Amino acid sequence: QVQLVESGGGLVQPGGSLRLSCAASRSIFSFNRMGWYRQAPGKERELVATIFSTGSRNYADSVKGRFTISRDSAVDTVYLQMNSPKPEDTGVYYCTGSDGVSQYWGQGTQVTVSS
């Protein structure tokens, strides 16, 4: 059973920084792509960032230039570095991985951007 475990969420001030981690129970290279989604109260879940097995990356327009997705295969972990967060970045952040057969989800971690 594949597990994705997020950590690193919490309260952060606007303009600060926060790093989310997603630890996978198997090699991150077994996934075609991994990424982060978020869901704000009353809104649909939206894609924030994706990293493909090739290393290429995609970002939502709303976070380009502020967030960075990265990975460390030595510890099978994917990260989301959040710089200069804004109050509208508040939500539950979910890690996801897809291997072409199934899509897997973590349990989510709450991020609150507030002064």
Nearest to 77 by CA among 32, 37, 34, 110: 34
Q: How far apart are CA 27 and CA 30, in angstroms?
A: 5
pLDDT digits (tens, 9 = 90+) for 3-18: 999 999 999 999 999 9
Nearest to 4 by CA among 28, 24, 20: 24
Q: Does pLDDT of 25 surpass 90?
A: yes
Nearest to 110 by CA among 96, 94, 86, 97: 94
pLDDT digits (tens, 9 = 90+) for 78-115: 999 999 999 999 999 999 999 999 999 999 999 999 99
pLDDT recorded at residue 78: 98
**Amino acid sitting at position 87:** P
